[in-house]
Amino acid sequence: MKIKKILNYITLFVAFILIFGFALACGGSEPTEEVSKVAEEEAVEEVAIQTEGSPTSDVAGEDKKDVPRYSGSVRTDSSVVVEAGLTMIGYVTSSSVDEVVDFYEKELPANGWEILDKFPIEGDVWLTASKGDNVVKVICGSDDEYPGYTGIGVILEITE
């Protein structure tokens, strides 16, 4: 499963929830196209995606200091959904899925995260960890957009 596709679905879902909530708060009527566009523009602060060629340099965005970045990886997408407190970052690396998962199983606890879950889904490996009320999900799997690379998806939900 494509890491980028998962991140895009989550972004769209959160944007939809925010738009629907905004419409209900404004009187309960269905959102108009104009309201939907404004709410969507406000909901997603930053989106950067690399779509052409081999990944050679990071797209715009920033890494989160609390969540370790796999050494040698390239950031291929980044988005922040401000109202939901979500940050979603995609990386690729030439390392194997097992090497990446091993790294996060070791480095998340070293950075104060408690690993709650590790499970495979359709060939990917999902790790879920928490630190206080914050939650991070790290998704590792082969990247369909960049054959021969491992995709890493980081979804950080900050509630504090």
pLDDT in tens, 120-145: 988 899 999 999 999 999 999 998 88
**CA distance linking residue 70 with residue 78, whole number of Å:** 15
Residue labelled with tokens 């509630």: 159
As given in the structure block, the two tokens for residue 80 are 């922040």
The pLDDT score that the predictor gives to residue 49 is 52
Nearest to 49 by CA among 39, 40, 58, 41: 58
Nearest to 105 by CA among 82, 121, 131, 126: 126
Confidence of residue 30 (pLDDT cuts 50, 70, 90): very low
Task: Say if CB 66 and CB 133 are below 8 A apart.
Answer: no
* The pLDDT of residue 26 is above 50: no
Which amino acid would we find at residue 40? E
Task: Say if CB 107 and CB 116 are below 8 A apart.
Answer: no
Strands in 23-123 per DSSP E: 44-49, 74-81, 86-93, 114-121
As given in the structure block, the two tokens for residue 106 are 């070791």
Instruction: Tell how strand 86-93 and strand 150-157 pair up.
Output: antiparallel
As given in the structure block, the two tokens for residue 42 are 């406000």
As given in the structure block, the two tokens for residue 148 are 């021969």
Confidence of residue 23 (pLDDT cuts 50, 70, 90): very low
Q: 3-class DSSP state for residue 129? A: strand
Task: Say if CB 126 and CB 137 are below 8 A apart.
Answer: yes
The pLDDT score that the predictor gives to residue 122 is 86
Confidence of residue 39 (pLDDT cuts 50, 70, 90): very low
For 51-108, the pLDDT digits (tens) are 556 778 889 988 888 899 999 999 999 998 887 888 999 999 999 999 999 999 999 9
The larger pLDDT score, comparing residue 148 to residue 114, is at: 114
- What are the sequence ranges of the domains in the chain? 3-157
